Amino acid sequence: MNWQTLYSSRQMSAEQAVRLIQSGDRIFLTGNCSVPRQLLAALVEYAPQLHGVEICQALTVAGSEYVAPDLEGHLRVNSLFISSNVRKAVQEGRADFTPVLLSEFPTLFSRGILPVDVAFVHISAPDRHGYCTLGIEAGLTRSAARSAKRVIAEVNQQMPRTHGDTLIHISQIDAFVPADYPLAELVMTEESTPVIETIACLIAERIPDGATLQTGIGAIPDAVLRYLKDKKDLAVHSELVSDGVIDLVEAGVITGARKAIHPGKIISGFMLGTRRLYEWADDFPLIELHPTEYVNNPFTIAKNTRMVAMNSALEVDLTGQVAADSIGPKFYSGVGGQMDFIYGASLSEGGLPIIALPSTSTLRDGMTVSRIVPMLKQGAGVTTTRNHVHYIVTEYGMVDLYGKTVRQRTQLLISVAHPSFRDELTSQAKALHYL
């Protein structure tokens, strides 16, 4: 049977495809901006006829209908990185959270720790040889799809065709759901503030020519990219790429010419951005997507010389412990690639492992609080340990904690805390015998 005949014979509607799901199944849901919306909507409609179905996912740019309270007992999300659409359900105990490094996320499926019955994937149209690609989300999906008992795919005419380890042949898929709709978009550039701009400038001035960048989620990494236009031969090795890289590639700043591994290539696991990024990346051999267990492996990362890792935090205590995935006992997001890249960059020759955060935050009641704190909130998880931390940057400067005593760390962190809180932090540090 040729691939065209096979492809035609396995095409069906989303409503038909979800009837391949059985009670008790575990579904892997491809995520980020690649959520297969038709399949997910059909599953929500069919869910009352199912019981005990688990949906494993990372960040999903989608609605929250599939974690609605009335689906309890039918569908239950197990999120390995909590996105805003499922956060309330996790915090209320209606959905689960599994802490895991992003580099190890796919291996939970491939090693059978979380066996996958059905993988929902979102792919580009087949080429003349019957090969589709996993589109803008390959890093987390590749291993899960390979290890699943059944694969159900939305074939979207608007999904970019991507290079790297993204190919999937028609024969490897059990059901195809035709689709033709714009992909979800996530705008990285938030409304800028003087604090964000100052932090971005502090980081940008430390980035040398020939550096390789991790470009993470958030306003600060995106702002940093805007201050790099005078740099030369930058490169990208990152769990994600967003719109911010486009201008730097077109300006000849990102060339990858000095890259130690994959020279000349942008290496990533997935794309998270807008339609501009998807159209730009379509069939663009400069960008390669690879499995996250490779991209985020700290020892792969470390092979890049002058590796710059930029990550954020909710708060940092005076010993250097970084909390980024929870606010006290409330789970907020996940470790993501922070530990992978902080450790990988620390092993890189000339590497810069950076944690960046504004010195303060404003609570809902209008109160301003310091994000440099004597101790993390009770119940908060440590994302980057005090043993791994290197550079901390706020709008008041950048300090290097690595190899420093707790007394020295305390002094350095107080120096980049907001001036309004420095006396209080000093007093509390003395009470804790840090000073």
CA distance 382 to 402: 17
CA distance 237 to 309: 10
Q: What is the β-pairing status of strands 287-289 and 266-271? A: parallel
Q: What interhelical angle do 194-204 and 219-226 show, nearest 10?
A: 60
Helix (H, G, I), strand (E, B) or coil at 422: helix
Determine contact, residues 122/153, Cβ cutoff 8 Å. yes
Q: What is the β-pairing status of strands 235-241 and 266-271? A: parallel
* Dihedral class, residue 245 (left if φ above 0, else alpha if ψ from -120 to 50, else beta): alpha
Q: Is 239 a catalytic residue?
A: yes
DSSP E strands, 338-433: 352-356, 360-362, 368-370, 372-373, 391-394, 397-400
The residue behind tokens 């065709």 is 161
Nearest CA to 139 among 108, 170, 164, 169?
Answer: 164
Determine contact, residues 348/307, Cβ cutoff 8 Å. yes
Determine contact, residues 221/245, Cβ cutoff 8 Å. no
Helical spans, DSSP H, in 171-291: 194-204, 219-226, 244-250, 275-281
Q: Could you give the strand order of the β-sheet that contains 235-241, starting from the edge strand earlier in sequence? A: 163-164, 287-289, 266-271, 235-241, 212-214, 307-312, 352-356, 391-394, 397-400
Nearest CA to 354 among 234, 206, 209?
Answer: 206
**154, 239, 288, 315: which one is catalytic?**
239
Determine contact, residues 35/122, Cβ cutoff 8 Å. yes
Amino acid at site 414: I
Residues marked active site are found at 239
